[in-house]
Amino acid sequence: MAVIFALCCLACSAVNDFIFKLFANRPMSRGVFFSIIGVIITLTMAPTLNIHSFSGNMANTLIWGCAAGFFSIVGNVLLIEAMGKLSAGICSTIYRLNLIFVVPGAMFFFGETLNPFQLCGVLAAILAIILFSFSTLCGKQKSSLAGMIIIVSAALLRAGMGLAYKKAFLTGVEESSLVFINGLFWVFGGLIYAWLKDGVIKMPGKATWGFGALSGLFVCGIVFFMAKALQAGAAGVVLSIAQMSFLGTLLLSVIILKEKLEKFKIAGIICGTAAILFLALK
């Protein structure tokens, strides 16, 4: 069952990244889009909150919940901004390669060690990013360079969220509390983003509501299936499967958006896949 749950998590992540790409191509408020996703997450997680546990560990819950929430919303804002400049396949792959930042972060903050497999994974991930850079910069467009900088920054922030989650769990914080606070950060962070980017916060139209609600459901699906998979199986197997979601996003973008696959991109995808497999080994 662990593999099935992990595959469901993979599917939710792949489709959600593809939704991000579809929305990034539309002239609608991205900030309001994130705010709607946050509302869905918050309403979904509210019934699962353990008030007694929350109040008993309030300081750690608020500190690490806010840290994770900040990294989460800013990282996803950068992800959708990058998708407005680069292909969905490249953005999704680099975003999932955030493990290359998690590994040294875990070594520094938690005293974890880097084994030979993980070192190979880090090197493969760096090679993947270099190959993607060749792929995107062949046209010598400034937007491509900016897109690469943005998506690598997004991956770094996603790694920060993962490290904040790990620290929270080590201090006894419950997952439902963390996800609930994350949802609140998406609600208000999205509104702030809309105000800063658009200069005004407008009532969303039907399309924005639709995209936001759909993405919110898939985000909840990611959280639900990931939790179920981790309960049923080994973390190394589950996480390595779930992180392969970029392959699903790539497939959707090639079939539906007709994105081109050229040699540097294919090589980058292969290296990215190898990187995640190596990083999952202990």
Secondary structure (3-state) at 49: coil
Taking the C-alpha atoms of residue 35 and residue 64, their distance in angstroms, rounded to an integer, is 21
Secondary structure (3-state) at 244: coil
Torsion angle of the four alpha carbons 220, 223, 227, 230, in this order, in degrees rounded to the nearest 10:
140
Per-residue pLDDT tens digits for 85-123: 888 888 988 898 887 788 788 888 878 777 788 788 888
Report DSSP state, residue 202.
Answer: P
pLDDT, residue 77, reads 95
- Angstrom distances, CA of residue 204 to CA of 54, 187, 208, 249: 33, 14, 6, 26
pLDDT, residue 143, reads 62
> Based on C-alpha coordinates, what's the Rg of the chain?
18
Taking the C-alpha atoms of residue 65 and residue 168, their distance in angstroms, rounded to an integer, is 7
- Give residue 141's region: left, alpha or beta (phi > 0; psi -120 to 50): beta
Unique residue bearing structure tokens 């609140």: 184
Reported as half-sphere exposure (CB side, CA atoms, 13 A), residue 104 has a value of 8
pLDDT, residue 141, reads 58
pLDDT, residue 28, reads 87
**Cβ count near 27 (within 10 Å):** 4
pLDDT, residue 81, reads 93
Per-residue pLDDT tens digits for 127-151: 888 888 776 666 555 567 888 899 9
pLDDT, residue 235, reads 58
Q: Which residues of the chain have pLDDT under 70?
A: 135-143, 230-231, 233-237, 239, 282
**CA nearest to 134, candidates 191, 178, 90:** 90
